[in-house]
């Protein structure tokens, strides 16, 4: 569990720093470059579509793991749009909440036998 927490913390830190540099250089307009690459059918667009699929899949897992609760639906847009900045922090927090039990972390408390 320590390795998972360390990897998530490193990924969050790297992406946060990179994001701050990009915002400083290019501003907050993410939508135009993101969809510009997709509409242009470039490799950058291919990456954007592939990355979006990962974001969607992680959001579906988040919703499923939390039994599609109202609280999960409230946080799902943050998980989907926030990427590793949100998802990594969630996994770190969750790893402490489940006290290191990987089965509970992956499946949720309602799906794990006592």
What predicted TM-score, i.e. pTM, was given to this entire model?
A: 0.88
What confidence category does residue 112 fall into, taking pLDDT thresholds of 50, 70 and 90? confident
pLDDT of amino acid 109: 87
Say if residue 38 is exposed, middle or buried (CB neighbours under 10 Å; 0-12, 13-18, 19+).
middle
Say if residue 10 is exposed, middle or buried (CB neighbours under 10 Å; 0-12, 13-18, 19+).
exposed
Give the CA distances from residue 9 to residues 56, 68, 71, 85, 91, in Å, rounded to whole numbers and listed in that order.
21, 26, 24, 9, 10
Q: What pLDDT, in 10s, does the model give residues 26-44?
A: 999 989 999 999 999 999 9
């Amino acid at each position: 569990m320590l390795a998972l927490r360390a990897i998530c913390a490193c990924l969050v830190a790297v992406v946060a720093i990179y994001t701050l540099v990009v915002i400083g250089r290019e501003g907050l307009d993410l939508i135009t470059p993101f969809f510009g690459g997709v509409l242009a059918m470039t490799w950058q667009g291919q990456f954007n579509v592939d990355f979006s699929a990962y974001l969607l899949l992680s959001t579906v897992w988040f919703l499923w793991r939390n039994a599609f609760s109202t609280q999960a639906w409230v946080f799902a847009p943050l998980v989907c749009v926030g990427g590793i900045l949100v998802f990594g922090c969630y996994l770190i927090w969750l790893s402490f909440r489940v006290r290191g039990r990987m089965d509970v972390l992956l499946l949720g408390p309602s799906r794990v036998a006592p």
